[in-house]
A = this chain, B = another copy of it.
Amino acid sequence: MELDRVAAELEGLEETIILRLIDRAQFHVNTRAYRAGESGFSGEPESSLFELRLRHHEEMDAQFGRYRVPEERPFTSGLPASRREVVLRGWEPRVSSYDAVNLTGAIRSSYMDFLPRFCPPGDDAQYGSSVEHDVHALQAVSRRIHYGAFYVAEAKYRSDAEGFAEMIASGDVQALAARLTRPEVEERVLRRVRAKVEHIQAGANPSVRVAIPAEVVVEFYSRTVIPLTKEGEVRYLLGRER
């Protein structure tokens, strides 16, 4: 449980996020898929197609045990219980409930804000494919943010248990956030993400695959992924049971 291993895991999740965003960008923005009451899904007059897909997917995933894994936090509530046991790969976070750190609301709303910036504008009527890929992209982002929130925070805590315990006891959120911030690491992540977006797409035929702008992904990382990870780390530490 050292910071290097955790950082390596986070690095591996970068590809997944980038690839999921590229997958989604093969379809247009398709605003209609996000409008309540326009799902065209029988028996569901009030939801959007996106909401329905997300819920159905998470209902399935819940039965297969996805949310028994700390970093897999659901976007919807009232999900069915798991029907199988799940073996955790690592250490279990010290919180009463994993959902004590659940940032999916903020992840979803930020993702929706970014959508028109990495997908081609307009409507191609491919609503089903669009929302299918939205779910995968959101899950990838959520996994990265919650993995960081639990495991980066715990690794940092263990590197200076006394110092952190003091800040936690005093409830000093500002001090905690400052202590968790490492600008040089953030800069390195952003540079790496940019290079990966550019590299991955350089091999594709632009007349066949839609490319996404590297700076949009970098901005998504700097405005959403990194800050929400840090917010999750703070929440985790404040809720940490000793």
Contact = CB atoms under 8 A, between A and B. Distances in A.
Interface of A: 8-9, 11-12, 15-16, 19, 23, 26, 39-44, 49, 52-53, 56-57, 60, 63-66, 83-87, 89, 124-126, 128, 132, 195-196, 199-200, 202-205, 207-209
A128 B64 contact: yes
Given A57-B60, A89-B126, A195-B203, A83 B208 contact: no
A199 B49 CA distance: 36
A52 B12 CA distance: 28
Contact of A85 (B40, B196, B202, B208): B40
A128 B65 contact: yes
A203 B209 contact: no
Nearest to A202: B199
A4 to B, nearest CB: 10
Given A39-B84, A43-B83, 13 more contacts: A9-B208, A11-B205, A12-B26, A12-B208, A12-B209, A41-B63, A41-B83, A42-B84, A60-B60, A86-B128, A89-B126, A196-B203, A199-B202
Nearest to A56: B60
